[in-house]
Structure 1
C-alpha cells in the first residue's frame, strides 16, 4: 500500500457529464490509464495527501459491520462494496472501496485484495475473510471480526486511559511546581533579602532549589533531550526492549493491567481462528501479528515452534512466563476434551472482565494518592514562601 498514491480527478464521462472523484494508483500514468479504461476524459489529476488517522480501527470495524449487513440482505459482494463506497464520507476510503470493487469484478478474491493494504487491514482480518470465502460464511466472519475488533479496541482505550491519567496528573504537578519555583519564589526571595532576620531552614532550602533551577535550566533542557534520544535508541535495542517489557509486567498495578489486555487479545484471536476452522499454528501466527510489542511477538513465536514440534499447547504455555499459570489447566482440559475453542473463549472473557475491573480500580486507587502527593508538594512550597512573614510578625511583636 505504501507504493500507492491517492489522486483527485476531474473529467467528463462517456455520457458527457462532468464528474470528479478519487482513485488509488502507483503513478500518474497508471491513474490516467485506469480512468481512461472507464471511459473518463480527464481534465485535471492532482495528488492528495493520505491521512493515517482515517486508517484507524474504528473505520475498519464500521466497514466490516456494513459489509456483513449487506451480505446478509442478499447483496452481492461487489455491489455491497460499491454501496459502501458511495455512502462513505472519507475520500480515501471511497477510493479504497472502489479499488477493491474493481479487483473483485476482475475475479480476485477479497482476501487477496485486502492483503495489499496491510496498514489498513490486519493479518487476522485477511485470514478470517479467506476462511469465510472458503466456507461460504463470509457475512458471519465479518460480524465476528467486527465484534472482536470493537471489543479489543474498547479494552485498549480503557487500559490506555487508566495508565494515562496518573501520568497526566503527575505531569501537571511537575509543571506547577517548576512554575512556582521558577517564577513565584524569585519574587518572594527578592523581598526577603530586605529582611534583617534569618530565614527559616525550609525557606532557605526552597530558595536554593529555585536559584539552582533558574541558573541551570539550560542544562536541564539539554539533559531532557539527551534522555529522550537515549530512550529512543534503547527502545530499538532488542535486549533493552526485553528488559523494559519484563519490568513493565512486574510493576504492581500497571503490569497486571498490560498482561490482562495482551492475554485477552491473544485468547480472543485464537477463539475466532478455532471457531473459523483455521489450524492452531496459523491462529498463533495471526495472534502474534496483531500484538504491538516485539516481546510478545517472540513469546508467541516460541510457543508456535514448540507446538509445531508436537508439544501440546498447554505444555508449551507452561514454559512462557507471560501466560498466567491458572490458564494452563483450562487449556489442557480443552485440548483433551476437544473443546479448545470453548476454553479459549472463556479465558478471553475472564481476562477481558478482569482487565476492565483493574482499569477502573487503578484510576480509583491512584487518584487519592496522587492528590495527597500534589497537596504535600504544593503545600510545602506555599508554607516555605509565607513562613518568613509569620516569623517577621513574631519578631515585630517581641520588639
Structure 2
C-alpha cells in the first residue's frame, strides 16, 4: 500500500506530523480519527519516514545514529516487560521516555503510532528496515503467529549478543595487522616522495651507471612524484569501482566466494558464517518456524552471498522432499562432524539442539583462531617488511658500495 505524509492536531491542539500506510487518503484520515488526531493535510509520499521541517532535518542529521546495541537492549527490556505482564503499548511508552538515544526514541514513537493505527508489531517495525533486519522482523512475525513473542525477544537478544561478540572479536584480531599494513604503506609513500629523490640527486652527480635495483627505485619514485594526482585519482576510482561491483548481485557473490579462499582468514570467515547459520537456524526452529521458511529466513542472516546461495539450495532440496542431511552434504560447505550431528539431529528429532551445539563448536574454533590470528600473520608481515627493507637497502646503498670499491682500487 502507498504511504501518505500527514499534518494533524492532537487533543491539546499541538501539531503532529508523520507517515502512515493506507490504500487512500480516506484510510489515513480514519486511522488518525481513531487515535484522537484531527488531520489537517494529507499528501502522498514515496518515503516511509516522518516528514519534518528543516530544523528537524538538521536535528536528525546531527543526532546519534541507532546502533545495534540499542536494538539488543530494546529486545531484552521488552522481553522483561512482556514477561511481567505489562501491555506492549505501555511498555513501548516507557522505553521511549527512558531511551538515551533520541533517534531510537523517535523510532519507538513511530512504532507506537503504528500500533495505535491497528498495525501488527512486525508491520510497524518493518517501516524501519535500516534498524530492524529481515531476520529480526521475520522472528517477530513468528512470535506474533505463535503467541510466543516474549520468548522470541529473549532469543533475539541472545542472537544479537552473539553477533556483537563475533564482530568485536574480529575487529580486535585485525587491529594489529591493519596498523602494521597502514604503517608500511605510509612508509613506502614517504620514502618514494622524500627519501629516494634526495639520494637520486646525489647519484646524478656521479655520472655513472647505477645498479638495477637503484634504477628501479628512482624510476618508481619519479613516477610517484610526477604523477601522484593520477595515482590518487586511480586509487579513489578503483575503490568506487570496487564498491559499485560489490553492489551488483554477481559481484557480491563472487567476492564472498573468493573471501572464503583467502589464506588464514578464509577459514575464519567460513566458520564464523556457519556459526551464524547454525545459531539462526536453531533460533528459528525453536520458535516454531517450519524448516523451509527457516532456511529462507536464515539465508538472509549469514552475511555471505555464496553461503546464502548454498542455504537456498538446501531449502530447494527440502521443498522437493529431500532430508536436511542430503541437502547439507550437496551444499559442500559443512565439515564431516557437522554432517554427522545433522544426521543424528534428524533421526532423534532434536535438530535445533544439535544446531546449537554446532554453533558453539564453530564459535569456539573461531575464538581460538582469532586469538592466534596475530601470531599467524606476524611471520608474513615480518617477511614482507624484511623484503621491503632489503630492496630499499640494495637500491640506496649499492651505488655507495660500488663507489667505495672504485675509490679503494684507485
Which blocks of at least 5 consecutive residues in structure 1 are unaligned? Answer: none
The TM-score, its normalising length taken from structure 2, stands at: 0.80
In 1, distance between residues paired with 2:320 and 2:208? Answer: 81
Give 1:343's aligned residue.
354
Q: Structure 1 residue 333: deviation in Å?
A: 0.9
How has the CA–CA distance of structure 1 residues 88 and 397 changed in structure 2, closer, same or farther, with 3 Å as cutoff?
same
Alignment length (residue pairs)? 390
Give 1:352's aligned residue.
363
Q: Structure 1 residue 374: deviation in Å?
A: 1.9
In 2, distance between residues paired with 1:23 and 1:237? Answer: 36
How has the CA–CA distance of structure 1 residues 262 and 5 changed in structure 2, closer, same or farther, with 3 Å as cutoff?
farther
Could you tell me whether the CA contact under 8 Å between 2:299 and 2:308 is conserved in 1?
yes
In 1, distance between residues paired with 2:236 and 2:165? Answer: 34
Q: Structure 1 residue 270: deviation in Å?
A: 0.8
Give 1:111's aligned residue.
122
Give 1:25's aligned residue.
19
Give 2:177's aligned residue.
166
Q: Structure 1 residue 395: deviation in Å?
A: 5.6
2:290 is the alignment partner of 1:279:
yes
Q: Structure 1 residue 131: deviation in Å?
A: 3.5
Q: Structure 1 residue 323: deviation in Å?
A: 2.8
The one-character-per-residue Cα deviations of 1:321-341 (angstroms, maximum 9, x if unpaired) are 233333111111101111111
Which of 109, 129, 150 aligns to 2:140? It is 129
How has the CA–CA distance of structure 1 residues 91 and 234 changed in structure 2, closer, same or farther, with 3 Å as cutoff?
closer
Could you tell me whether the CA contact under 8 Å between 1:110 and 1:129 is conserved in 2?
yes
Give 1:361's aligned residue.
372
Q: Structure 1 residue 154: deviation in Å?
A: 1.7
Give 1:293's aligned residue.
304
User: 1:46-65, aligned counterparts within 5 Å?
Assistant: 46-47=53-54, 48-49=56-57, 50=60, 54-65=65-76
In 2, distance between residues paired with 1:56 and 1:322? Answer: 32
The one-character-per-residue Cα deviations of 1:237-293 (angstroms, maximum 9, x if unpaired) are 555544433332222312211111111111111111111111111111110122333
Which blocks of at least 5 consecutive residues in structure 2 are unaligned? Answer: 41-51
How has the CA–CA distance of structure 1 residues 248 and 104 changed in structure 2, closer, same or farther, with 3 Å as cutoff?
same
Which SS does the other structure have where 1:247 is aligned?
A: helix
Give 1:250's aligned residue.
261
Q: Structure 1 residue 351: deviation in Å?
A: 1.1
Which of 326, 337, 346 aligns to 1:326? It is 337
Could you tell me whether the CA contact under 8 Å between 1:23 and 1:96 is conserved in 2?
no
Q: Structure 1 residue 81: deviation in Å?
A: 0.4
Give 2:91's aligned residue.
80
How has the CA–CA distance of structure 1 residues 197 and 135 changed in structure 2, closer, same or farther, with 3 Å as cutoff?
closer
In 2, distance between residues paired with 1:183 and 1:6? Answer: 61
Deviates more, 1:328-337 or 1:245-254: 245-254
How has the CA–CA distance of structure 1 residues 2 and 124 changed in structure 2, closer, same or farther, with 3 Å as cutoff?
farther
Aligned Cα root-mean-square deviation (Å): 3.8
Could you tell me whether the CA contact under 8 Å between 1:159 and 1:261 is conserved in 2?
no
Give 1:179's aligned residue.
190
Which SS does the other structure have where 1:25 is aligned?
A: strand
Give 1:141's aligned residue.
152
2:219 is the alignment partner of 1:208:
yes
The TM-score, its normalising length taken from structure 1, stands at: 0.82
Q: Structure 1 residue 143: deviation in Å?
A: 1.4
Deviates more, 1:351-360 or 1:375-384: 375-384
Q: Structure 1 residue 4: deviation in Å?
A: 8.5
Q: Structure 1 residue 196: deviation in Å?
A: 6.2
The one-character-per-residue Cα deviations of 1:370-393 (angstroms, maximum 9, x if unpaired) are 134224313542564355456656
User: 1:9-48, aligned counterparts within 5 Å?
Assistant: 14=12, 24-25=18-19, 37-38=36-37, 46-47=53-54, 48=56
